[in-house]
Structure 1
Amino acid sequence: MTEKPDGGSTPGPASRSARTTESAPELLEARIRGLQHALGQLLENARRLTYGEHQRAVQLHRQLQEQTAIARRESRGLVDAKTAEALATAEPKARLLADRLAPGLGSIPPNDARWRSRQLVGAGIPSYVRIGELEPGTPVAAPLLRTNGWKVSADRNESARRLLQSVAMRLVAAAEPFRLRIDAFDPRLTGTMGLLGHLTTKYPQLVPRATHTAEQLHAVLSGLVDVSSLRASRQAQLGHKRFEDLIRETGRVTDPYRVVVLFDYPSGIDTLAQRDLLRLAATGGERGICFLVHHDPSMTPENDVDTKQLLDLLTPVAITNEKVEIAQLPGVSAKLDPPFDANVATGICDVVAELAEIAVLPTIEFNRTLPDRSTWWQPVTDELSTVIGYDDRTPALVRLRSGNPALPHVLVGGAVGQGKSNLLLVMIHGLAARYDPADLEMYLLDFKHGVEFSALGPATEREHWLPHVRVLGIHSDRAFGLAVLRHLSDELARRSEIFKSHGNVADIAELAPGPDRPPRILVVLDEFQVLLEDDDELADEAAKLLERLVRLGRAYGVHVVLATQTIEGVKRLSTRRDSIFGQVPYRIALKTTPADAQAILRNGNTAASELQFRGEAVLNANFGSPDDNQHVLVSFADKPVLDDLRRELWVKSGTTHPPRVFHLAEPARLADTAAAVQPELGRPWTGLPIAVTEAPVPVEVRPEPGAGVLVLGDGPTDALGVLSGLAFSAAAAAVDPPRFIFMDGTNSSPEVADGKGALVQALRQLGCEVETVDKHDDIAPRLFSLRDTVRHGHVSGETYLLGFGFHGVPRMQLHADGFFESPANALQDIVRDGPAQGLVTFGWWNRLHVCTEHLGYGRANVATHLFLRHPQDGVRAVCGPLVRWASEPHRALLWDGLHPEAQVVVPFAALRADEVDRAVELVRR
């Protein structure tokens, strides 16, 4: 012992060594307990985890390793057990912290079995992402998505590419569908992003194909500049500094985080790209735009490209000898993860694609867009306006105005299945709820096979319809579309006269509400390009009329909505594109291709190609200018909800007059026509015109030679419909009930039995005597007796011979037993001489030459021919050599010899038994 001045003693070297050896385990244990306590404190505050806490966890783990290394050197045998226990406790806690910062697939190693499971795919976007591990089981995660991004340099370029590939894989796998998009620039064609190629093929909107040229990169960066600008405006509007705060409040899932990966920077970067990169990276962390830049210092930048400017905006990440160091974790060196297995990556891509396939947007119910019922049907002032959906919390308005500013017309476009029909229904019903039918009329035409508009008109299963609809074209044909445009052109001329009578008024908004002010007109032309597709006179006239309508309609209160899937390749639009679309300021584009997005919006505006979901739309009220894009979610037009609204509006209107309904695939209905028009004496109906008018096309039938109708062509049901229209309207208009003789040359074909029975029933309910001759053997004797009646002038009252299928009667041109002439001779006399005696023939033959054989080349002086499906040579023999007849279903060509041109009509369908009572009741009014 060594004496101290105060009489104490100081331990000698031997004593100090012994005491140190005895106390080493206790000191180490105390240190370990302190470290464990620190980690425990981190776990208790896990709900407030920050990057600093994760950093502390990693640093504490390294301190633990250093302390245990010292202790092992001093007293290896005594502390090994304590060390193992401490490490076993600390590593899971550090791992738990990393899992919470980078949840799910954001932090687990590439060889973990969970990568082969779909359980964690799409669990949520991690703001932190794994960069490697300290030792097996201890991950290191660093912040990424809420920063401007990383600049990654490495002693080997392959190591940097592997890290960026790993980060991209983790982000794609962890993100919910369409919540993240990764664009890559790979100027040296390394193919690094090929690991995600399976997803690129299926969903390029999630991971587009890597770009390789400066021009391609310019397009990507230009789009991102627009995205950043829109986000800045929206964040300022809603009072948020950061993108994630905006997402959290609005729940918006249609605006993804954007990640840009640049390989081998500054290779391929020119001054234009560098300028946009600097603009974007400076605020990227606040706008949800993140950059992963692999910096290759061996690459020489272009003149005026200062690489330091971009790299200084990003967090440095360095890789040396497979060790990763990041500035945010000073002193921490993580081991770089091995590359992902290609089969694992393909499996993950397949799962992500499956989730994207079933991903849906939150639904905005249509009723949310309607005003309070107390405000419905307010008088129109200077505009028609409606809400089609929402932009975050802001209603998305469409305002149709004639001036100040002029917003008269709308162009709607989108790919198949992206919600175009839903959008049109939302717009139509929204306007119908806001404005009275007296102030707003609608002309709705669909030129494709859709049936969405059919519910807006009357039907046998419902009594109501949308009361604003004046004309409804369901799968309209081009001829009817042209007829509607002609009608609207005439309406413009009519309104011009009204304006002049009020002192040369120049705008409908200048007219005060009242009976003298004509209603606004909404014209919806769905798939309008069909009108203009063919290179013919119809397309040329339609293009001219459409151009006139959009140019002049604004002042007269006519608003046009042009809807299409694509307008590319339409010849008639190539020369009139500017003159038509230059009058259409509103553009609404749903998800579509970049080419079609620019066709709908404007050259250079591809925003609609960036949309992810059905029902998303870009709303633009400035001719498609990119600066005026509004990203909206269109409300959902649920069919029962719309039907209830139509019923309510129909009851509110008190209307009883249905709209003019035109259907390409359907014949006209006698009962519907009888509801709108009363038959006239001596003018039986052949069918409806292809026109807006509801008045049928009549033929003149007077008691003189030449009266009658020859129906020619295939189709027994169509022919029966024509004869039914002629007979029913003639009977309904007669002063005294006429008599009918129905000769059935089809031998009572089952195909027409129901229609024939319904016609006979209807005629009898109208008070007519109806004689039916159904058997072939009975037809010839009856023709001879009827011919004798005509010859002797014994026809009693107005009589009609309905010859249904004379071509089917055998031996018509052979001498009948007991007669010196053929039944055809008798029929010829009846048709030629009968009208003067009060007997008129409406007869059907399947071919003109058969009719000619029966009636002679003069065809018994009958002037009126009506062709169904008939060869064109026969049609031209009657109507002239220049006539073209396509023989379409439910169409007939009428030639009466009085007009210079043949007229296409829509023949009536044969009556159904359940229509008879209604039809008879209507004509008896």
Structure 2
Amino acid sequence: MTLIDPLQQGQSVEPFLPLLKVEQLVPQGHVLTRSDEIEAALGKLTDEIEELIQQRFNDKASNWSQYNAVQPDAPLPYKVVLLFDVPEQISEKSLWFLGRICENGPRCGVLPIIAIDEQRMEDRRYEKLNATLKNSTTQLNDLLQRAGAGELSFTYQPEQWPRQDVLDGFLAKLVEDCAAKTRFKKTMPDLWTSFGKGETTLGGFDIPIGWTTAGDFATLRLGATDSEHHVLLAGKTGSGKSNLLHVLIHTLCEKYPTEELDLYLLDYKESTEFNIYATPPVPQARLVATESDPEYGVTVLRHLVDELETRARIFKSKNVNDFSEYRKSSGVRLPRVLLVIDEFQILFSESRQVAEAAEQLLSKLLKQGRSFGIHILLATQTLKGINAQSIGSIITQLGCRIALACGQEDSAMILGGGNWAAAELRSPPEGIINNANGAKSGNVKFMIPFAGESEHRRDLLTNLIVRTSFSGEAAKTKIFSGAFLPQMPSPFEYQTACAHEEALLLGENLAFDSKPLTVSLTRRSAFNVLFSGYNDHIHDGLLSATLFSLTFVDGFDEIVYFNARGVPPGGGFSAAAQMLGARLKIFDDISELPLQAISDDIGNRRVALIIDGLDSEKALQPAPAFRSLKPGEPPTPADLLKRLAEDGPRKGTFVFIFVDRWQRCASASKDLFSFFELRVAYCMNEDDAGSLVSGGVGKFKGIEKPSRAVFVNKMTNDITWFRPYVQESTQ
């Protein structure tokens, strides 16, 4: 119903105002009173009538009743527009709209009920509307006269109004009944009746994701000669974006086998939406990444660019131009690739360097991927505020647009300038799919089924996995969870990594391949290792990883550990200490630390010296520059430590320093730190990280997060992001 009451401002329908709360009955949610909103509502009804006449009606069904007889599963509802005090607040456009509604509305199930002000309607401006009303409507008096055939007289008597409590009960029942009847009842498995299992992607993806208002399947088509190749999906919070992604992913996996589809799922939300595809892994998924880092996302894009270039070389060698031609000529079952990135704007939220890399790689995939069977779906809540210089170019490459409920500004950004249709959606379950780069003429409204609660979806996926033959591809899926750090490897893995190469095994590269990060212990001046950051969990993991590595590095006579922090280390420290046995010497008193002996034995014995908490031990920090040693005075602990750092690495003795609070010792120990070319930073602010990484003034972004660290080789200027190993304390 559309209710228009410009003079009484809703009082004309006062007993029925509770119905305004029922969105299915009164979509506007209020009685229209102003010229602009009346014009918009009448214009929308006119557009709907036009769409029915031009697009939906045909020889078999040329009106509302015939259409519903032919389409009982998707009937057209009645639409009633009730106007009081016409022509009050009726603009020139509204007059034209109202005329068309009166002429063509009843045929389309749009029923106008109009109360006019006869005196005002005598104005010449309303001649056309009067003529339309005379030809297309029936006055109540005429109906009564026809019923009586001229033999009955009649007068108007007000009907006795029901008691308010009775009316309220009736309206409550009406609201409940309306909600039940208008609720969208189709489910995700209903989509799967439109296709068989094990279909091919040779001609592209053809994925049913809902039903149009005509009852036909709404499909997402990508990669065909007459379809788009990449998708933009957007909708405000609560509009059902995650639900639609689940519908899309489930349906893809139901329709296409693992040999036909490589699915990459990259989620930047702080949620577990995609975890369901990782435990156990869906066979079609090559990657399931949740709570991802922008840096990790860049490595995924780089991996796909490598895949694109590999396919380009293969196609060139076979003298073919595109994916379909290669499949047809070679007979090789090369899978199509679909990359889904939820909240993709976060890719551009970190440093300019990361954002620029993401833009360049994404642009290349969007421009060239279509020829090589690589397709991309980017999802977001809004396009406003995205920090990417080429965002306009990126959006232009996304020819298919799927819009859920959002504001007018977002609708215009998602679909295209002047296309505000998404602002009128009631999502869930409504959406718009547009395969015309957002042109208004390409809008197709559709209904999206509920994917089900997580347990129901898990059951469906379990059945899918049971039905699917892995064909030797059980290890196809990579799992990445940005919320959890990788667990410490087994002693056997440390032995394999460190026995034949003098190196520390500290974590996994923050990259698609997730290769182990190894830090070589090179016998070269200043190649000591400095760790800095304030996070006990990561600190204990790095310390334990260092000890486990040193356990299997051949040739170390002794590992000396000095704990200046005053906090017993956890995270596998005890297990590593037990493996080292008598080779590990632990101290917590600076006066007992054998720095002089270690210094004297440089070149004779190999020692790994670990100073845990340099910032907490003043004795190890250099004295003021103006103070010089007196003749015969023994060197201070700080002097000995500097000598070890300077002379040790060339002879196989290394110093490993851990610092909690960088600012406590950064200035005083500047000369000492010049002998630490290898540095690991984690959980530091931008200024401190910049000082540690570059050795000067500057900022280094991205270290604050407790889910990653960075390794820097100052000699080569190499910077490597990684995820440090951690382990629950066994103490």
**Normalised by the size of structure 2, how large is the TM-score?**
0.81
Q: 1:304 to 1:370 in 2, by over 3 A?
A: same
C-alpha distance in structure 1 between counterparts of 2:362 and 2:29, whole Å: 40
Give, in whole Å, the separation in 2 of the partners of 1:774 and 1:358.
Answer: 72
1:621 aligns with 2:435: yes
Distance 2:124 2:24 in 1: 34
Amino acid at match of 2:562: M
Partner of 1:177: 22
Change (3 A) 1:294 1:175: same
State the match for 2:712 in structure 1.
895
| Residue 430 of structure 1: how far off its partner (Å) | 1.5
CA distance in 1, matches of 2:324, 2:492: 36
Offset, 1:710: 0.5
Task: Identify the residue that residue 678 of structure 2 maps to in structure 1.
Answer: 864
Q: What's 1:19 paired with?
A: none
CA deviation profile, 1:607-665 (whole Å, cap 9, x unmatched): 43333352322233333434541322334243223323444555632544364444444
Summarize the alignment of residues 308-319 of structure 1 with structure 2, pairs less than 5 Å apart: 308-317=131-140
* CA shift digits 1:400-458 (9 cap, x unpaired): 3323203212221222112100111111122123223343222222233232123323x
SS at match of 2:347: helix
List alignment gaps of at least 5 residues for structure 2: 624-632
Q: Runs of 5+ in structure 1 lacking a partner?
A: 1-144, 182-203, 917-925
| Contact 1:689–1:696 (CA under 8 A) maintained in structure 2 | yes
1:585 matches 2:378 = no
Within the alignment, does 1:401 sit opposite 2:222 as a pair?
Answer: yes
Name the SS of the counterpart of 1:180 in structure 2: coil
- Residue 217 of structure 1: how far off its partner (Å): 4.2
Aligned counterpart for 1:807 among listed residues 611, 615, 618 = 615
One of 403, 414, 419 as aligned partner of 2:235:
414
For 1:361, the equivalent position in structure 2 comes to 183
2:497 maps to 1:679: yes
TM-score (norm 1): 0.66
Q: Which amino acid aligns with 1:700?
A: S
Q: Aligned equivalents of 1:372 and 1:729: distance in 2?
A: 56
Determine which of 508, 512, 537 is the counterpart of 1:692. 512
1:641 corresponds to which residue?
456
Following superposition, the deviation at residue 567 of structure 1 comes to 1.4
1:663-678 aligned within 5 A = 663-671=481-489
Q: Name the counterpart of 1:747.
A: 566
For residues 768-823 of structure 1, what are the alpha-carbon distances to aligned partners after superposition, in whole Å with 9 as ceiling and x for unaligned? 4466666623x54243375157347134xxx54443323334644699xxx94433
Aligned residue among 183, 203, 210 for 2:33? 210
- 1:502 is matched with which residue: 297, 318, 321? 318
The 1:845–1:443 alpha-carbon spacing in structure 2 relative to 1, beyond 3 Å, is same
Deviation of 1:503 after TM superposition, in Å, equals 0.7
- Name the CA shift for 1:151/1:700 in 2 (closer, same or farther; >3 Å): closer
1:627–1:851 distance in 2 versus 1, CA, 3 Å: closer
Alpha-carbon distance, 1:908 to partner = 1.2
Task: For residue 382 of structure 1, report the CA deviation from its aligned partner.
Answer: 0.7
Aligned to 2:292: 476
Contact 1:617 / 1:634 at 8 angstroms: preserved in 2? no
Q: Write the mapping of 1:681-760 to structure 2, written as runs, cut at 5 A.
A: 681-729=501-549, 731=551, 734=553, 740-749=559-568, 752-753=569-570, 755=571, 758-760=572-574
- Is the partner of 1:298 in helix, strand or coil? helix
Q: Could you say which residue in structure 2 is the equivalent of 1:552? A: 368
* Number of corresponding residues: 708
**Could you tell me how far 1:711 is from its partner in structure 2?**
0.6
Counterpart contact for 2:205–2:224, Cα < 8 Å: no
Q: What is the CA-CA distance between 1:271 and the residue it aligns to?
A: 5.4
> Secondary structure of the equivalent of 2:537?
helix
Deviates more, 1:471-480 or 1:871-880: 871-880
| 1:520 corresponds to | 336
Deviation digits for residues 888-914 of structure 1, max 9, x if unmatched? 12333432123335x252341421269
Aligned to 2:594: 783
Q: In the aligned structure 1, how far is the partner of 2:114 from the partner of 2:695? A: 76
TM-aligned CA deviation for residue 385 of structure 1: 2.3
Aligned to 1:280: 101
SS of the equivalent of 1:511 reads helix
Q: 1:554 is paired with a residue of what secondary structure?
A: helix
8 Å CA contact retained: 2:557, 2:583: no
- d(CA) in 1 for partners of 2:594 and 2:413? 66
Alignment check: 8 A CA contact 2:19 2:25 kept: no
Partner of 1:189: none
Classify 1:209/1:866 alpha carbon distance in 2 versus 1 (closer, same or farther; 3 Å): farther
- Distance in 2 (CA, whole Å) between partners of 1:635 and 1:738 is 65
CA distance in 1, matches of 2:203, 2:171: 53
Report deviation, 1:383.
1.3
Alpha-carbon displacement from aligned partner over 1:300-359 (angstroms, at most 9, x marks no partner)? 25387342213432231369xxxx978767744332469999999999999999999999
Judge which range, 624-633 or 715-724, deviates more: 624-633
Secondary structure at the aligned position of 1:442 is classed as strand
Give the distance between the partners of 2:670 and 2:240, measured in 1 at CA.
Answer: 59
Alpha-carbon distance in 2 for matches of 1:677, 1:404: 54
Q: Counterparts in 2 of 1:83-482, with a 5 A limit?
A: 166=12, 168-169=13-14, 173=18, 177-181=22-26, 205-207=28-30, 209-213=32-36, 216-231=37-52, 233-234=55-56, 241-242=63-64, 246=68, 250=72, 257-267=78-88, 269=90, 272-299=93-120, 300-302=123-125, 305-317=128-140, 331-336=153-158, 361-370=183-192, 375-391=196-212, 394=215, 396-457=217-278, 462=279, 464-482=280-298
Q: In the alignment, is the contact (CA less than 8 A) between 2:689 and 2:700 conserved in 1?
A: no
Q: Are 2:378 and 1:562 aligned?
A: yes
- The answer on whether the counterparts of 1:615 and 1:634 sit within 8 Å (CA) in structure 2 is yes
1:287 maps to a residue whose letter is C
CA–CA distance in 2 between the matches of 1:241 and 1:829? 95
Offset at 1:522?
0.7
| Structure 2 CA distance for aligned equivalents of residues 676 and 843 of structure 1 | 21
Following superposition, the deviation at residue 863 of structure 1 comes to: 1.0
What's the CA shift string for 1:478-499, capped at 9, x where partnerless? 3333343344334333332222
Aligned residues of 1:550 and 1:583 also touching (Cα < 8 A): yes
Report how far residue 210 of structure 1 moved.
3.1
Identity of aligned residues (%): 22
Query: Structure 1 residues 782 and 633 mapped into 2: Cα distance closer, same or farther (>3 Å)?
Result: same
TM-fit CA distance, 1:597: 3.0
Contact 1:829–1:860 (CA under 8 A) maintained in structure 2: no
What amino acid sits opposite 1:333 in the alignment?
T
Contact 2:338 2:376 in 1 (8 A): yes
Give the Cα separation in 2 of the matches to 1:473 and 1:514: 33
The answer (yes or no) to whether the contact 2:315–2:326 under 8 Å persists in 1 is no
Matched letter for residue 899 of structure 1: T
Q: CA RMSD in A?
A: 4.7
Distance 1:169 1:369, change over 3 A: same
Residue 128 of structure 2 aligns to a residue whose secondary structure is coil
Contact 1:450 1:475 in 2 (8 A): yes
